[in-house]
Chain A
C-alpha cells in the first residue's frame, strides 16, 4: 500500500509537469489547428533561462524562496517572449499556406532551437542550482513527499486555476475562445486575431517554462535536448485528453505520468522491462488514435479542411 501511494505521488509529480506543457500544445492547436513541435524546446529554454538567472542574480549560492520566485517568474516572462517571437517570425508569415507547411516549419524551429543551444552551450548536462531547501515529509506510513514535489503540485494547480480564470472570466479569454471557434468570424467581429494568437503563444510558453524550472528543482540535470522526449509525451497527453480541450490536457498529463511510473514500478512483475517507460506513452497515443481519436474529453471533431 505504501509503495502504491508512493508510486501514485511519483506519477502525479511528473504528470503535473506533462500537464503544464500539454496546456500549451492544446491551446495553440485550439486556435490555429497547429501542432507546435517547438513547444517542448520552450520548456528547455525556460529551464536554461532559470539556470542563467539564478547565477546572474546570485541566487545560486544557497536555497532561497525569493530567488525561486524571481527565477520562476523571470523564466516565464522570457519564455513568453521567445514563444511570441517564434509565432511572429516563423508561423505568422506562412499562416495562409497549407497546414502541412506550418507543421514542417514547427519541426524546423524545434531543431533550430535545440541546435542553437547545443552550438552555444554544448550538449553536456548542467546542474541546476538548488533553490529550495530539500526536505521530505511522510504520509500514510511510509510514503514520502518532498518539498520539490509539493512545489510542483502547488504551482501547477495555481497556474491551471489562473489559466481557467483567464480563459473564462476575462475579455481576452473570451476572444481566445471566439478565435478557436472560427478565426475569420472572430476577425469580422473586430477581434485583433494576431494579438490573440500572440497572447496564446505567450501563455502556453510561460506555462512550459514554469514546468522547466519546476522540473529542474526536482531533477537538477538540464541539457539542450531535454525537451524532446518530455515535449513528445506532453503532446501525447494533449491528444489523450482531447487536443484543443484545456481540462483534457491536464487529465491526459496526469494519466501519462501515472502510466509511465506504474510501468517502471510494477512492469517487472508482469514481464515489462522498465526501459519501456517511454514506449508506453506512444502505445497510448496509438490506442487513442485507433479507438477514440477525439481523446477522452474531446468533443466530436469539427474538421475544417
Chain B
C-alpha cells in the first residue's frame, strides 16, 4: 500500500516536470555571462557519501577555475540537484537542470544505475554529460553526448581478478553481488571471466539487494565452499555490514571489492572486520606525486577531510569539462561534445586522461589494502587494451601492446600516474612497497 502511494506521488511529480515548458533560465544560450553547469548526485540517500564527495570535488575545481579568471573570461556557476540515489529521481532532476536551468553541460552521477537513467535525457536534449565515476560500460553507449573520466568495469573487474590470481595466488573465489545494481553485475561478469581465464575457479555466487539487513545466510553458504577470496563488488553501505557479519561467522578469506567501497562510512559499519581486505580504486591518497599531494592538501584545507577517489574524479571531471569548453570556444552542445571526446593526455589528479573512441578514459587502477581505517597502496595495474583485458595468464608478456593501445596511461608520464619510478619497467603490473601514511 505504501508502494502505491509512493508511486502515485512520483507520477504526479513527473507529470509536473513534463508540464513545465522549456523556458529561458539563467544559463540560456549565448556566449557571455556565467557558464552554468549542472551537477546531480545522491546528496541525502543511501549512497550520499558518494554524491557529497563528488560535489565537493566539482565545486573545488570550479572555485579554482573562477579564481584563475574563469573559462575564456567567463565565470563558472555550478547548480546542484539531489537525486536521493534513486534512478527515477535522477532522470527528473536532470530534466529540470536541462529544461528549467538550461545548463550547458552536466556532471554526474556516481552510481551507474542512476547515470543510465539520466543519460538518455541529456542525449535527447543534446547537452553533454560527463560522468565522474560511473564504471558500467553501458553508460557511454547511451549516445555520443555521454562521456566519463574513469575506467570501466571490464578493466576494473579484470584488475581484481588479476590481483587475486597473480598476487594473492588465489585458486577458488566466491562472489557476493548486489543483484539490482548494474555496477555490481558488470563487475561480477568481468571478474568471473578474467579469473577463470587465469586458471581460477568460481566456487559459489550469492546475491543480495540494497537495503538487506542480514547477510549471514549467503555468507554461510559461501563459507561451506572454502574460497580463498570473496569478491564483493558492492557499495560501502552494504559491504561494511557484510564484512562484519563474515568475521562473526569466522570467515578468514579476504574480501575484494571495487571503488564502490571507498567511503569514510565504510569504517563506521565494518570496523576492524575490514582489515586485510583489498579494493581496486582510481587513485591513492598516499601517492607521493606532487600533483596528487597538492590536491589532497587543498581539499583537506577546504573540506576538512581526506579526499576519496570520488572527490578526485569529480574534480577531474570539472577540469576536463573546463578544458573542453576552452578548446571548443563555445558552450554549444554539438561543438562541446566533440571537444570533450577529443580530450587527450589531460593531466588530472587521478592520472592522465585520454578518451577512447567510446568516450571512456583509459587509465590505470590501483589496488589498496584496508588496514586500521587506512587505504594502503599495494600496486598499480595498467590496462593492456580496454577491449579485451586480461586475456593472457602470462600478464607481463603482453606489456608491449600497452604503450600503443593506452598512451594516456603509459609510464612515460611520471608524476601523474599513481606509481612513481616505474619508467624502467613498462610491465603490466608495477609493484611498490606500501607508502607510509601521511
| A residues apposed to B, CB below 8 Å | 2-3, 6-7, 10-11, 13-14, 107, 110-111, 122-127, 130, 134, 136, 138, 142, 144, 146, 148-149, 215, 218-221, 223, 225-226, 228-230, 260-266, 268, 273-275, 277
Contacts and interface: CB of A to CB of B under 8 A. Distances in A.
A219 B241 contact: yes
Contact of A127 (B223, B224, B240): B240
B121 interface: no
Given A107-B1, A275-B179, A136 B249 contact: yes
Contact of B249 (A6, A110, A125, A126): A6
A144 B250 contact: yes
Given A122-B44, A127-B268, A220 B217 contact: no
A213 B224 CA distance: 30
B391 interface: no
A271 to B, nearest CB: 14
A261 B218 CA distance: 8
B214 interface: yes
Contacts of B269: 127, 220-221
Contact of B224 (A3, A111, A218, A229): A3
Contacts of A110: 2
B407 interface: no
B220 A265 contact: yes
The 8 closest A-B pairs by CB, nearest first: A264-B217, A127-B268, A146-B248, A10-B216, A124-B48, A3-B224, A261-B217, A144-B250
B46 A223 contact: yes
B237 interface: yes
B45 A274 contact: no
Contact of A268 (B46, B221, B223, B241): B221
A219 B248 contact: no
13 contacts: A111-B5, A123-B84, A123-B85, A124-B44, A124-B46, A127-B268, A127-B269, A219-B241, A220-B241, A220-B269, A226-B213, A273-B179, A273-B207
B244 interface: yes
B276 to A, nearest CB: 16
B217 A221 contact: no
B394 to A, nearest CB: 35
A203 to B, nearest CB: 24
B346 interface: no
Contacts of B249: 6, 136, 144, 146
B430 interface: no
B70 interface: no
A123 B45 contact: yes
Given A125-B237, A127-B265, A221-B269, A264 B213 contact: no
Interface string B260-276: 00000100110100000
Contacts of A266: 221
Contacts of A146: 248-249
B260 to A, nearest CB: 14
A142 B226 CA distance: 12
Contacts of A107: 1-2
B46 A220 contact: no
Given A124-B48, A218-B245, 11 more contacts: A14-B214, A122-B44, A123-B85, A127-B265, A148-B248, A220-B244, A221-B238, A229-B211, A260-B217, A265-B220, A274-B218
Contact of A2 (B49, B224, B238): B224
B44 A123 contact: yes
A292 B211 CA distance: 32
A228 B208 CA distance: 18
Contacts of B250: 136, 138, 142, 144
Interface string B51-92: 000000000000000000000000000000000110000000
Nearest to A257: B214
A215 B269 CA distance: 13
A136 B252 CA distance: 13
Nearest to A274: B207
Contacts of A125: 46, 237, 265
A231 to B, nearest CB: 10
A146 B241 CA distance: 14
Given A138-B250, A215-B213, A220-B269, A3 B240 contact: no
B401 interface: no
Residue among B179, B220, B240, B245 with max Cβ neighbours from chain A (10 Å) = B220
A125 B271 CA distance: 16
Interface string B296-332: 0000000000000000000000000000000000000
Contacts of A136: 247-250
A237 to B, nearest CB: 15
B123 interface: no
A251 to B, nearest CB: 20
B212 interface: yes
Contacts of B268: 126-127, 220
Nearest to A228: B2
A7 B206 CA distance: 15
Given A111-B2, A264-B217, A274 B237 contact: no
A107 B4 CA distance: 12
A3 B5 CA distance: 41
B13 interface: no
Contacts of B211: 225, 229
Contacts of B238: 221
Interface string B225-258: 0000000000001101100110111100000000
B85 to A, nearest CB: 8
A285 B2 CA distance: 18
B262 to A, nearest CB: 16
A125 B2 CA distance: 20
Nearest to B266: A127
A265 B214 contact: no
A7 B217 contact: yes
Nearest to A3: B224
Contacts of B32: none
A275 B2 contact: no
A148 B45 CA distance: 28
Contact of B217 (A215, A225, A265): A265
B209 interface: yes
Contacts of A261: 214, 216-217
A136 B216 CA distance: 13
A262 B220 CA distance: 11
B240 to A, nearest CB: 7
Nearest to B268: A127
A226 to B, nearest CB: 7
Interface string B324-358: 00000000000000000000000000000000000
